[in-house]
């Protein structure tokens, strides 16, 4: 498998900054190469090719270029070829033309053997030619201009020009390579330089420092030159051992990907370099149902699957992005630079699409599925640990919601400081009586008279003011507060209902139950006690459950649902039309009322298709002996169309805004209750809900 941290051999897009940069370096480099070769005459070439030393150097340069000395931290720019020592010695002894000729031969052979992309081969040749040209210019400034006819051997007085020539060679090499890497990976040039030059400087210094000694030995005896292979092997072996240890400490053994430690380091670097408006992105991804593969086919197949996932990820990310494995089937992707949250989601969607392609090996086909969570700096977190934690929250939101990709949202993070504070305030608010119930009329579409009400819970926070139900209800549903909130609503609704009954205006009230409520075995006892305490019949209460919750197998089979139905408490289905309910199944659950979702009702007057859907719902509901209620009726045209369809009840701003209990009591007295709706013992109407309305 390819080294995941290596840049991919994909040619740059024509016209891009990287393409322009490479084209410029290649043009100048090859011009310098041709000029250097043209400066030698035929006699000098003949002298060079007749030299036994030249061919020995050629062998050493070609084979040395096939092995690079790589130090920890040098991966972005690659290693230092072991041939540098002999190529620089050729420059010192035979001159620029001979050195660039041998270098060109070594680069081409290396490119063919390692199957490098053509643009990398020609760029490497061009940048090395420019590096040797810079060194030759420095030497020429000191009057040193060797050629095959008059080779040069440095003496004790020539240390300065040799050192300066070596610095020029290294400086040009580092500048050109770091510039290309920075453009390829969309990173700061200074960041690449700081990360690599120190390591590369050590290796270059050791090799270039030996080059003058090679020249002196060459001048004394050609047969002694191969002895320099021994110190070269020592340098190579030491660097390789150091690199192997560093790799083991920073990479995952199974996939070869960076581990959490290296991801942490690279993320810290990216955060330090981040400049507005660019952001840093961190993805956390988890393979869905991977445990089934291990349990069914064994860990060997699971390991191969993880390796394949790693391979796909490294070949799907952008240049400069890092893929890491955190353990098990969890992977992370670091985006050192990303423009916006939308761009981050686009990258995540592309990665998910790449991973979702079926996998085939050993005659089997696997369908992969992955959930990805996105966290961004600086919006979501200021450091690596918090970014990772919030990417984890987003990933589980994607997994729970089966959406595939989710960005972090503090409103949906049950562990965020703001939500924890709000949860504490909600608990205190319940104790202090800060929650109240408002009522919105429900009107018979046939008679136009009120038949009940929907009660909407409101929380007036002492410092934040009115808190929307969309903020505190999901928070309560994910915590222990759900039971207390449900009991509070039941008690408040039945207390108000008892007042209406005592005043001769019986109104049925219904409390919206959550999924957690349906699994609460104590709920029937709580409801029975409250009904008895306020002296109202069971038919004065209606329990409203959303279609999504009621249609789950868990809710369908829950003892709570059965016990409540046996007590004679009618059930109502809310948000009908948003899921995949079976009306026959609803009938088995003894549903008495179906509320058509507001999203459909709002489009009845403008969409023929939606009008047909609503009409079919009304007819089906009526055929099963249930009532139909239309939510969000906001104009007379919609109300009239619903009446013509045969819908029983309408609710919305067209009939009345939510009101406090006292105001609603006056309103219903003024408008007069429908006698059909007052017969609560037979078929009472009206609903109380904790949802936002």
Per-residue pLDDT reduced to its tens digit, 591-639 = 788 888 888 898 898 888 889 989 998 998 888 888 999 989 999 999 9
pLDDT at 415: 65
Task: Average the pLDDT over each of 113-127, 394-408, 587-601 and give the range with the smallest value.
Answer: 587-601
Binned at pLDDT 50, 70 and 90, residue 102 comes out as very high
395 token code pair? 């990933």
What would the mean pLDDT of 548-571 be, rounded to a whole number?
Answer: 68
pLDDT at 425: 87
* % of the chain beyond a pLDDT of 90: 24
The residue count of the chain comes to 693
What would the mean pLDDT of 113-137 be, rounded to a whole number?
Answer: 91
pLDDT at 648: 94
Residue 240 has pLDDT above 70, yes or no: no
pLDDT at 290: 77
Instruction: Please state whether beta strands 541-546 and 509-512 pair in parallel, antiparallel, or not at all (unpaired).
Output: parallel
Residue 231 has pLDDT above 80, yes or no: no
What would the mean pLDDT of 29-43 be, rounded to a whole number?
Answer: 91
pLDDT in tens, 476-517: 876 668 888 888 888 888 998 899 888 888 888 778 888 778
Binned at pLDDT 50, 70 and 90, residue 283 comes out as very high
Asked if 540 and 580 touch (Cβ cutoff 8 Å), the reply is no
User: Of 229, 219, 211, which Cα lies nearest the Cα of 51?
Assistant: 219
Binned at pLDDT 50, 70 and 90, residue 548 comes out as low
What would the mean pLDDT of 366-378 be, rounded to a whole number?
Answer: 87
Residue 335 has pLDDT above 90, yes or no: yes
Query: Which parts of 256-366 are beta strand (E)?
Result: 279-287, 322-327, 330-338, 359-361, 364-366
Q: Which residue of the set 286, 321, 329, 575 is catalytic?
A: 329
pLDDT at 245: 74
What would the mean pLDDT of 279-304 be, rounded to a whole number?
Answer: 81
User: Of 155, 189, 5, which Cα lies nearest the Cα of 79?
Assistant: 5
Strand partners, 660: 438
Task: Report the greatest alpha carbon distance in the chain.
Answer: 122
pLDDT in tens, 211-222: 888 888 887 877
Binned at pLDDT 50, 70 and 90, residue 671 comes out as confident
93 token code pair? 């002894």
What would the mean pLDDT of 131-150 be, rounded to a whole number?
Answer: 93
Task: Average the pLDDT over each of 247-251, 380-384, 436-440 and give the range with the smallest value.
Answer: 247-251
Rounded to an integer, what distance in angstroms lies between the CA atom of residue 1 and that of residue 329? 19
Query: Which parts of 231-329 are beta strand (E)?
Result: 279-287, 322-327
Binned at pLDDT 50, 70 and 90, residue 232 comes out as low
Rounded to an integer, what distance in angstroms lies between the CA atom of residue 547 and that of residue 48? 88
More confident residue, 246 or 584: 246
What would the mean pLDDT of 658-679 be, rounded to a whole number?
Answer: 72
The angle at the Cα of 304, spanning 303 to 308, to the nearest 5 degrees, equals 120
pLDDT at 678: 41
More confident residue, 482 or 102: 102
Rounded to an integer, what distance in angstroms lies between the CA atom of residue 303 and that of residue 307? 6
Task: Average the pLDDT over each of 166-170, 437-441, 462-466 and give the range with the smallest value.
Answer: 437-441
Rounded to an integer, what distance in angstroms lies between the CA atom of residue 514 and that of residue 491? 16
Binned at pLDDT 50, 70 and 90, residue 78 comes out as low
Residue 442 has pLDDT above 90, yes or no: no
* % of the chain beyond a pLDDT of 70: 84
Rounded to an integer, what distance in angstroms lies between the CA atom of residue 109 and that of residue 194? 31
More confident residue, 47 or 553: 47
pLDDT at 376: 94
More confident residue, 483 or 145: 145
More confident residue, 367 or 374: 374
Query: Which parts of 555-638 are beta strand (E)?
Result: 571-576, 591-596, 627-630
Task: Average the pLDDT over each of 37-51, 64-78, 378-392 and give the range with the smallest value.
Answer: 64-78
Residue 280 has pLDDT above 90, yes or no: yes
Asked if 234 and 63 touch (Cβ cutoff 8 Å), the reply is no
pLDDT at 644: 93
Instruction: Please state whether beta strands 509-512 and 465-467 pair in parallel, antiparallel, or not at all (unpaired).
Output: unpaired
What would the mean pLDDT of 7-12 be, rounded to a whole number?
Answer: 55
Binned at pLDDT 50, 70 and 90, residue 404 comes out as confident
What would the mean pLDDT of 175-185 be, rounded to a whole number?
Answer: 85
Task: Average the pLDDT over each of 181-195, 326-340, 591-605, 621-635 and give the range with the smallest value.
Answer: 181-195
Residue 130 has pLDDT above 90, yes or no: yes
- Give the DSSP H/E element, type plus range, for residue 256: none
What would the mean pLDDT of 640-666 be, rounded to a whole number?
Answer: 90
Residues in CB range of 58: below 8 A, 6 or more apart:
102, 105
Mean of per-residue pLDDT scores for the chain? 82
For the question of residue 329 being annotated catalytic, the response is: yes
Residue 547 has pLDDT above 50, yes or no: yes
258 token code pair? 């960076």
Place of tokens 């139900």: 469
Binned at pLDDT 50, 70 and 90, residue 189 comes out as confident
User: Of 250, 268, 474, 246, which Cα lies nearest the Cα of 388?
Assistant: 268
357 token code pair? 């392609």
pLDDT at 235: 64
pLDDT at 508: 80
Binned at pLDDT 50, 70 and 90, residue 367 comes out as confident
């Amino acid at each position: 498998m390819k080294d995941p941290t290596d840049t991919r051999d994909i040619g740059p897009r024509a016209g891009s900054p990287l393409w322009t940069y490479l084209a410029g370096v290649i043009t100048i480099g090859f011009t310098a190469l041709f000029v250097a070769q043209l400066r030698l005459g035929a006699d000098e070439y003949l002298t060079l090719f007749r030299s036994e030393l030249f061919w020995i150097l050629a062998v050493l340069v070609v084979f040395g270029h096939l092995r690079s000395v790589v130090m920890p931290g040098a991966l972005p720019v690659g290693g230092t070829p072991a041939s540098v020592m002999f190529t620089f010695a050729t420059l010192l002894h035979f001159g620029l033309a001979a050195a660039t000729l041998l270098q060109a031969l070594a680069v081409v052979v290396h490119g063919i053997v390692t199957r490098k992309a053509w643009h990398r081969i020609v760029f490497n040749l061009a940048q090395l030619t420019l590096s040797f040209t810079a060194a030759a210019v420095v030497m020429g400034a000191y009057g040193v201009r060797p050629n095959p006819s008059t080779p040069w051997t440095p003496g004790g007085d020539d240390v300065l020009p040799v050192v300066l020539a070596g610095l020029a060679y290294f400086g040009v090499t580092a500048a050109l390579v770091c510039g290309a890497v920075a453009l390829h990976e969309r990173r700061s040039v200074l960041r690449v330089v700081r990360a690599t030059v120190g390591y590369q400087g050590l290796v270059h210094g050791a090799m270039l420092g030996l080059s003058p000694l090679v020249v002196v030995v060459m001048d004394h005896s050609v047969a002694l030159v191969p002895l320099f292979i021994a110190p070269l092997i020592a340098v190579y072996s030491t660097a390789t051992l150091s690199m192997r240890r560093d790799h083991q400490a920073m990479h995952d053994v199974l996939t070869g990907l960076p581990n959490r430690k290296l991801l942490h380091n690279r993320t810290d670097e990216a955060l330090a370099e981040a400049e507005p408006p660019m952001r840093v992105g961190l993805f956390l991804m988890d393979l869905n149902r991977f445990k089934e593969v291990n349990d069914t086919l064994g860990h060997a197949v699971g390991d191969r699957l993880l390796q394949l996932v790693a391979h796909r990820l490294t070949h799907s990310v952008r240049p400069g992005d890092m893929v890491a494995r955190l353990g098990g089937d969890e992977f992370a992707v670091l985006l050192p630079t990303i423009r916006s949250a939308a761009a981050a989601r686009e990258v995540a969607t592309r990665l998910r699409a790449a991973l979702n392609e079926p996998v085939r090996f050993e005659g089997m086909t696997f369908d992969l599925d992955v959930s990805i969570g996105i966290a961004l700096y600086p919006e979501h977190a200021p450091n690596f640990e918090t970014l990772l934690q919030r990417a984890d929250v987003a990933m589980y939101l994607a997994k729970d919601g089966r959406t595939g990709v989710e960005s972090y949202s503090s409103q949906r993070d049950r562990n965020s400081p703001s939500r924890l504070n709000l949860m504490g305030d909600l608990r205190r608010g319940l104790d202090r009586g800060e929650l109240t119930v408002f009522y919105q009329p429900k009107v018979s579409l046939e008679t136009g008279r009120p038949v009940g009400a929907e009660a909407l819970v409101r929380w007036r926070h002492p410092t934040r003011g009115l808190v929307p139900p969309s903020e505190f209800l999901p928070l309560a549903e994910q915590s222990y507060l759900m039971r207390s909130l449900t009991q509070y609503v039941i008690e408040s609704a039945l207390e108000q209902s008892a007042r209406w009954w005592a005043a001769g205006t019986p109104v049925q009230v219904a409390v919206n139950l959550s999924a957690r409520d349906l699994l609460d075995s104590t709920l029937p006892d709580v409801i029975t006690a409250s009904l008895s305490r306020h002296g109202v019949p069971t038919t004065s209460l209606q329990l409203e459950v959303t279609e999504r919750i009621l249609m789950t197998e868990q809710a369908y089979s829950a003892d709570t649902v059965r016990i409540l139905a046996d007590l004679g408490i009618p059930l109502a289905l809310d948000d009908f039309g948003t899921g995949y309910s079976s009306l026959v199944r609803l009938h088995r659950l003894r549903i008495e009322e179906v509320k058509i979702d507001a999203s459909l009702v709002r489009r009845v007057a403008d969409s023929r298709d939606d009008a047909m859907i609503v009409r079919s719902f009304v007819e089906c509901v009526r055929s099963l002996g249930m009532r139909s209620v239309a939510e969000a009726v906001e104009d007379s045209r919609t109300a009239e169309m619903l009446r013509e369809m045969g819908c029983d009840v309408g609710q919305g701003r067209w009939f009345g805004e939510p009101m406090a209990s006292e105001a609603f009591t006056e309103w219903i007295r003024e408008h007069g209750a429908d006698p059909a709706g007052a017969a609560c013992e037979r078929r009472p109407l009206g609903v109380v809900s904790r949802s936002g309305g």
